[in-house]
Each structure stands twice: as C-alpha cells, then as structure tokens.
Amino acid sequence: MKPAITLALGLAFTLPLPAHPEATPLPKVIQGGVPLMGLTSQDPDGLVVYKLIVPPATARLNVISSSGIGNVRMYLRQGAHPTYNGAEADYESSYPGTRQRIQVIEPDPGAWYVGIQGSSGGYAGVRLQAVTKLEKGAIAPPVFLPPPGVYPGEVSCLIKSRGRGTSVYYTLDGNDPDTGSTPADKTTKVTLTGDTTFKARAYDKNGQAGPVAEADYQIRANGDVIDLVNTQSVAHLASEKGGRHLFRISAEGGERLVVVTEGGKGKSTISINHGSIPPVGKPGKDATFLRGTNSVEIPETLAGDYYIALDAASGYYGRTIIAYLATNQPDLMPWAEALQPYVSVEFFSAASCEVEEGLIGAGERRLLRYNTEVRNIGGDDLVMPPPEDNPFFEYHACHGHYHFKGFAASRLLDLGGNELRTSRKVSFCLLDNARWSSAAPTRRRFTCSNQGIQAGWSDVYDSGLPGQWIEIGDLPAGDYQLELTVNPDGILPESNVENNTVVIPVTIP
C-alpha cells in the first residue's frame, strides 16, 4: 500500500534564500532583430534563460539589454544554459543598471542561450534584443507568410526573399528546390488546399545557392470538427482573419470544464456551446453559449458534447488549445508543450550541487535536458504540510530550502516503448511559479517556505536547473521518446492520476 502524505495546514517555515528561478513564458525564444519588452523579475537573484538560434554564415552577434529599472547581469553560452553567476558561460556582461552588451564575432550556427540574472535586487521593464549580421555575400533563407501551421481551410502563401538581387525557387513535393524548380517573385502567392511541405531557396545573381527554408502546412476542411481528449493539447493552430477551427469534447456531467488557448502571435476568441456548434459573433442576452479571449470556464457541465470554436479576430499562428475536465479537488498534470528537450555536453566539477547530492559523477557528461511544468488543473489548491521533520521532504543545502522527495521521474524510450535511459526521481520545491489560467487568483500564494500549487497555477522547473536531465552517454543518434511522470508514487492526493504522464518524440542529433 502506498504511503499517504498528511497535507495538514501549519505555520510557514521561513527560509533565508529565494525559491527556484522562474522560467520564462513559452515560447522563450529571442528572434533576431525582434526585441523582447518589459522583462521583469521579483526574485533578486533569479536567472531567466532565453533561447536564440544563430543562422549559418553569421559574421557578428550582438545581445543587448536596456531600459527599465534595477540591476542585471547577462550571460551567453553556446548549446546549453548558462548557470548562476556565470559559472558556466562563454560570455558575460556585468555593469551597474540594466544596460548590458555581449558581442560575438563569427559565432557558430545553432542554439545559443542568453541568461538574465538579477543583481542587487529585482528588475522591471527591461528590453532584450539579439541582432545577427550575416557575412558579406551570404544568402539569407526565404520566409513564408503566413507562417506554417494547421489551418481551417485553404491558405494563400507568399514567399518573401530577404536578400537583394536574389531569385527564389520553390517546391511543394518535399524535394529541395533548385533552379529548375518553380520560380517565385515578390507577388507570387501559392494557394494550399491540402497538407503540404513547402520548401524555398534563394540564389544570387552568380547562381550561388542559399540554405533551404522549409515549412509544413496542414489544411483541414472548412467546418471539420476535431475531437479533443481531456488534458491533451492540439498545437500549431493557425488561421487567416475570419477563419474558424472547431473542436468537440464529451462530458459526463457535473464536472468543471476549462478551455484554454495560449502561445503564438495574433488574436483569437473562444466560443463554447453544449450540444451544437456556437454561432458566429458575440452572445446576446439570451444566448446559451459562452465566449472568451484566452479561456472559458463552465463550473458544472451537463452530460453530452460541448462544441468549441476558435475564431480568428486577426491572423494568428503558433496557438495551442487544451480542454480540462476536472473535479473540485487538486489535479496535477505535466504540460507536454513545456518540455522542449535538447542535448548538452557539460562538465561537472566535484563542488557542483549535482555531484554533491549524488545525482551525477564529476567530469564531462552528455545530457538530454528538458523543462518541467506541472499544472494544477483541478478546482482546489494543492496544500503541502510544513517540511520540518517530515519524512517526505529533504533539505537541500546547495539550494538553501526543503524539497518534496521524488516529485518527478523521467525515462528515455525507443520507439517501441522500451526503456533505454532513466533519471533519478527528482525532488521539487513546490510553489506558484506561473499563472496559466486567467480565472486563477492573480497573486502567488505558495513559495518554498510555504509549499503548494494553487488551482490555475503551475510550478515550472527550467531545463538549466539541477536534475532537469537524463544522462544519455554514448547513445547513438536517432528517434526516441521522452517520458515524464509527476507524483510517480501517488503520495500526493489528487483527483486523477491518469494524466500524470506525458510522452513526446525526441530526436538525438
């Protein structure tokens, strides 16, 4: 019989150090030349990491922070997250205030990571921008507009060249384009009526070829209804203005139903109706359907099908939709979209927290790193007891606070579901880290000194934190599956344990 933890209320245990750093909202990516505005952290020492993709043939990379108030330090590292105080970083900038700058000449192409860390207090309103300048004569890849995704009905695509004097050629059959492929100019629009792999390549006036740009479009029939599975998301949704995605989910009755959209760019609205597709437009006084911007909640469902419409108030792309059917008890669920795994080769010193805590041996290690976001999708808060003298908690001297033992476990599987690598069960300090539901309270309630997760909030452990990895060693390149389970021993009381595991595909390069 599994042990049950006593979730009794008690006096908060005051700890001297702040909680774990807050992960950045998804997608946590800096696009070259596009600034991120209003970055804020209340944690005086919190490190927030952003991802940057450096294109081939880049002559210079500049990463700049400015504006706002407070003091920040900036760290830059190739291929892996920088660590606290720049202990693991390739470049750093640390001056009083928020104005920091790092320049890299001829950076290697691929993933780079920018870390912003508070110094002498938190910061607010900071602007972060990365600018890449290509080598002279380098040919930039074309851009597809609107961006790829899952569209409700046919979509007209424009291929945009980013270089002067270049000629662009494209294919729709998955083959790499060459000068014998279909040419495109600034006004060429291609109408896609079915699932298409769109590829384009630019050539300069001397016939020199640039890199191939690739985009996958999925076209669903207009009026097609997608069945949603409770707590499973549908991602990469996109639409031109006026388009409509339709979904359906079945309820047993008496449950709480929450429909949430998030991510991407553009504007959309949610409408939900019992038994039939919601009409277009705003609900009137006697309307039976509900409408919202990012989320809609029905406190107590009727039995039967609920139909959901996602309407494009403007063109949008990169949107995710998910529906939750839950009781009024706590219900923990790992969020698959947050995992974002990547391979990192790192050196661990004997003095590092992971080595001291026995998670890994000292020396160079090859890791599969990933984020962990755990959402409380239930109707009630998860309240943890005081950790002192509690056998389900352990004190982490490296972090300066208590962790709940064995909160998450992960495995790397082959495509047949066979276990290849496994991580040790990772202990967590459970707290309110990110408010994912607009219906949730706006203020954090739980911290590392008073642990728990409010309904509508999530706890997020960034991939750069200790234990957020599986050691993969000499595992060969190929396609695998990453499995993450929270509350694996069933110690924490929650209404549904069937949604505690997520599995996503992973490619080891």
Name the DSSP class of 450: B
Q: What's the pTM?
A: 0.61
DSSP string, 221-243: PTT-EEEPPTT--EEEEEE-TT-
254 with 365, same domain?
no
Structure tokens at 352: 């590092």
The string over 376-410, giving b where at least 16 C-beta atoms fall within 10 Å of a residue's C-beta and e elsewhere, is bbbbbbbbbbbbeebebbeebeebebbbbbbbbbb
Beta strand pairing status for 58-66 and 382-383?
Answer: unpaired
Domain that holds residue 178: 154-220
174 with 265, same domain?
no
What are the helix (H) ranges across 195-346?
A: none
470 with 365, same domain?
yes
Taken in order 351, 353, 355, 356, the sign of the CA dihedral is positive
475 with 337, same domain?
yes
Structure tokens at 422: 């496994």
384 with 321, same domain?
no
349 with 490, same domain?
yes
The number of residues in the chain equals: 509
pLDDT tens, N- to C-terminus, the chain (509 residues):
334 443 332 222 222 233 333 333 333 566 566 677 667 665 555 677 788 878 788 899 999 999 888 889 999 998 877 877 888 899 999 888 999 999 999 999 888 889 888 877 678 778 888 888 888 878 888 888 888 889 999 999 998 887 778 899 999 988 999 999 999 987 888 999 999 989 999 998 888 888 888 888 999 998 999 999 887 778 789 999 999 999 999 999 988 898 988 777 789 999 999 999 999 988 877 778 889 888 898 988 999 999 999 999 999 887 889 898 887 889 999 988 788 788 888 887 787 777 777 778 888 888 898 888 899 988 899 999 988 888 998 887 666 678 888 899 999 999 999 999 998 777 888 888 888 887 788 888 998 888 999 998 998 887 777 788 899 999 998 889 999 999 999 999 998 888 899 998 888 87
Structure tokens at 20: 């774990």
Yes or no: say if 306 and 300 are a contact pair by the CB < 8 Å rule: no
**326, 351, 372: which is the final residue of a domain?**
326
pLDDT, residue 9, reads: 29
**105, 134, 163: which is the final residue of a domain?**
134
Structure tokens at 178: 């060459």
What are the helix (H) ranges across 222-300?
A: none
pLDDT, residue 34, reads: 63
257 with 121, same domain?
no
CATH code (residue 66): 2.60.120.380
Q: Is residue 358 part of a domain?
A: yes
Q: Is residue 143 part of a domain?
A: no
What whole-number distance in Å separates Cα of residue 296 and Cα of residue 438?
9
Nearby residues of 190 by Cβ (< 8 Å), 6 or more positions away: 156, 157, 159, 170, 172, 184, 198
235 with 121, same domain?
no
End-to-end CA distance of the chain: 42
Helices (H) and strands (E) in the chain, counts: 1, 40
Q: Is residue 7 part of a domain?
A: no
384 with 483, same domain?
yes
Nearby residues of 207 by Cβ (< 8 Å), 6 or more positions away: 179
Q: Is residue 37 part of a domain?
A: yes
Beta strand pairing status for 167-171 and 196-203?
Answer: antiparallel
Q: Is residue 4 part of a domain?
A: no
Element (H, E) at 355: helix 353-356
pLDDT, residue 472, reads: 92
238 with 207, same domain?
no
**What is the number of structural domains in the chain?**
4
93 with 117, same domain?
yes
391 with 406, same domain?
yes
**203, 220, 237: which is the final residue of a domain?**
220
Residue in 133, 110, 122, 127 with CA at minimum distance from that of residue 51: 110
What whole-number distance in Å separates Cα of residue 388 and Cα of residue 343?
37
Q: Is residue 16 part of a domain?
A: no
Degrees, nearest 5: CA angle 432-433-435 = 85
What whole-number distance in Å separates Cα of residue 100 and Cα of residue 74?
7
pLDDT, residue 336, reads: 83
Q: Is residue 12 part of a domain?
A: no
Q: Is residue 456 part of a domain?
A: yes
Structure tokens at 272: 């939900």
